[in-house]
A and B are shown apart, each in its own frame.
Chain A
Amino acid sequence: MKRVHWSHIGHVREALRALTAHGRSGGFACDFSAWHAEVAELKRRYAMNYDRASPLIQPNYVIEEINRHTRGAAIITTGVGQHQMWAAQYCDFTAPRLWLTSGSMGTMGFGLPAAIGAQIAQPQRLVIDIDGDSSIRMNIGELETVTTYDLPVKVVVLNNFGDGMVKQWQKLFFKGRLSASDRSLHKKDFVKAAQADGFRYAMRLEHKADVPRVIADFLAFQGPAFLEVMIDPDAGVYPMVGPGQSYEEMITGEFIPSRHKVDIKTPGPSEMF
């Protein structure tokens, strides 16, 4: 919470319309071009980026490829965790109500059923559930619901063998002790699970060179489609403003420059997840 100098309580649509009308009729004109140039420079210099040279499949690359096809017009749903943040960072959205995610509660398992509901509401839209291997397991029974109603939902599972966001925090703040977050010993075969639930398109993507072709085929498939992508299990979500830190102390990772030199600080015992 923050003290504010000016506030208006009411419907934001009407308030914004009133402000726009007031500013236009009063001939409000202010030259913000210097600020626009600063903003453009910030966007250029601190652009989103990741390890493009890695031989492993980077999740950011997979989402960039999906975005190249959807051009910001698809409905994207997610579970909760790293894949949710990568999708938020790398997908474009040209309109409201295309990005469906469990924001405040952060409920793992949201993505698949939300995609089903969205496809029922918007039968003409491309609906993609960008999910994680742990999130999707929470409501994986709904794979069968997709095929029962023959909904053309596209399900992508970015598999990094575990609770990726939990692992990221454990690496940063718990000296790498991966308590109950690593699932590399699991024997789960997601492709077989999808096939068992009636998915005629169910593929596993394991090689970086195949990413563009497989993503194109997957999105073009008419009907329910399932794609498991074996991503770099150590990929992290950057930037990251650690708990209890200010934006100046943001960690941008190896591939995005930072304008401040920052040290990773262990959060205090009462800091939030």
Chain B
Amino acid sequence: MSDTVIQPRPLGHPLAGQRMSGARMIMQVLADEGVTAIFGYSGGAILPTYDAVFLYNEQAARAGEPQIPLIVPANEQGAGFMAAGYARASGRVGVCLVTSGPGATNTVTPVRDCMADSVPIVVISGQVSTAAIGTDAFQEAPVPTMMGAVAKHIFLVTDPTKLERTMRTAFEIARSGRPGPVVVDVPKDVQNWEGEFRGEGLLPIPGFRRRLQELEQAALEGQAAGHFFAMLGESSRPLIYAGGGVINGNAATALSEFATSFGVPVVTTLMGIGSLDTTHALALRMLGMHGAAFANYAVDDCDFLIAVGARFDDRVAGVPAKFARNARRIAHLDVDRAEVN
């Protein structure tokens, strides 16, 4: 194959060069990212963006194009979990649009929940105007501090010229590597600011992208694969222990093919349910605190445990020393270095 393939120059965004409000830019990036529904509750500090959603849908209706419905919950915690349900069921990034203060504090629980279960959502919260931040203004809450502790990443947009790129970068961070929740806190004056829409561009986040690139390049070498199959060949009772990383990493088909190709039975964690069709002969259902007895006994009996996208947590390996006690060997595949060993 020739290495001089000429990439077609990507066509510019049809709206590139247009002047528009920050709020419209937020909405346009949501549309560009393929968002098909927004979950959220309005309020003073997010009103400009709610207006932009209305205008976008009005325009789409006129043009006969698909609208992006705004689903309104009873409470912002509901909106966060709706975005999470949307993301879990589809694999796409869920979007939650809430106001400042209580709107943002009510979404802390779903954001932490998404972090803990590696679910990609983007939460856009209105914030009081930049001049009022830190004054205990009406409906003000310290979103970056609060959410910083529970989210995968948090942006407070104080420079409106970075808003568009920040929005796009939020989606990139939410869905890549180990997925998770990203919060974009946008002061009201930044939503009302007008500037030129570029239609492209991301923020420089060199450390994050370098780690992503390392993951992309981390091909499993032949030697490592050879070592793996040597261990599998020496075992007589191999068992796969599949976790949520198989679901979140869209690896269920790959796992099923691996398990059926070599005849390795599979137990899953609570989060790994669905990694292998539960009605398959090799499926041993859930292990752990309330796992099936046959799943737990198989873990006790196996001589080679293959952990895939799982993390030996306290519901599974309450007593690590006694977990899979007959496994002479343990192998572990995971996207997150922090979960191994």
The residues of A with any CB-CB pair to B shorter than 8 Å are 1-20, 22-24, 26, 28, 30, 32-36, 38-40, 42-43, 45-48, 72, 75, 77, 85, 88-89, 91-105, 107, 109-110, 112-118, 120-122, 125, 139, 141-142, 144-145, 148-149, 237-241, 243-248, 250, 252, 256-259, 272
Contact = CB atoms under 8 A, between A and B. Distances in A.
Interface of B: 36-37, 39, 69, 71-75, 77-92, 94, 109-110, 112-113, 116-117, 215-216, 218-220, 222, 224-229, 231-233, 235-238, 244-247, 249-252, 254-255, 257-258, 261-265, 269-271, 273-275, 277-279, 281-282, 284-286, 288-294, 296-301, 307-309, 312-314, 317-320, 322-325, 329-337, 340-341
A250 B296 contact: yes
A16 B69 CA distance: 38
Query: Which 9 pairs across A and B sit closest by C-beta, in order of nearness?
Result: A117-B85, A141-B74, A114-B85, A10-B218, A104-B116, A117-B82, A113-B81, A13-B251, A246-B322
A258 to B, nearest CB: 7
B294 A89 contact: no
A9 B215 contact: yes
Given A15-B220, A45-B294, A100-B89, 10 more contacts: A7-B341, A19-B258, A32-B237, A36-B263, A92-B279, A95-B274, A113-B77, A114-B84, A148-B72, A247-B296
A72 B73 contact: no
16 contacts: A4-B332, A9-B334, A11-B251, A12-B246, A13-B254, A15-B220, A33-B263, A39-B265, A96-B246, A109-B77, A110-B113, A113-B78, A122-B90, A145-B71, A145-B72, A248-B322
Contacts of B262: 23, 28, 30, 32
A10 B215 contact: yes
Contacts of B252: 95-96
A272 B244 CA distance: 22
Contacts of B271: 101, 103-104
A106 to B, nearest CB: 9
Nearest to A104: B116
Contacts of B86: 117-118, 120-121
B290 A85 contact: yes
Nearest to A5: B329
Contact of B229 (A23, A105, A115): A23
A19 B228 contact: yes
Given A30-B233, A117-B86, A272-B314, A42 B245 contact: no
Contact of B90 (A1, A47, A97, A258): A97
A98 B294 contact: no
Contacts of B233: 28, 30
Contacts of B245: 12
A12 B333 contact: yes
Given A17-B254, A72-B279, A93-B273, A2 B81 contact: no
A8 B109 contact: no
B85 A11 contact: no
Contact of A105 (B72, B113, B224): B113
A91 B333 CA distance: 27
Contacts of B284: 39, 42-43
A143 B301 CA distance: 46
Nearest to B297: A42
A2 B292 CA distance: 22
B229 A28 contact: yes
Given A39-B298, A121-B90, A241-B318, A142 B340 contact: no
B297 A13 contact: no
A125 B290 CA distance: 28
Contact of B116 (A103, A239, A245): A103
B73 A241 contact: no
B319 A118 contact: no
A118 B89 contact: yes
A78 to B, nearest CB: 10
A23 B236 CA distance: 16
Contacts of A19: 220, 225, 228-229, 258
A6 B328 CA distance: 12
The residue among A15, A96, A103, A118 with the most chain B CB atoms within 10 A of its own CB is A96
Given A7-B340, A14-B220, A20-B261, A141 B78 contact: yes
A103 B288 CA distance: 12
A32 B263 contact: yes
A97 B91 contact: yes
The residue among A7, A115, A141 with the most chain B CB atoms within 10 A of its own CB is A7
A35 to B, nearest CB: 5
B246 to A, nearest CB: 6
Nearest to B74: A141
Nearest to A28: B229
B311 to A, nearest CB: 8
B50 to A, nearest CB: 17
B112 A105 contact: yes
Given A109-B81, A120-B86, A246 B258 contact: no
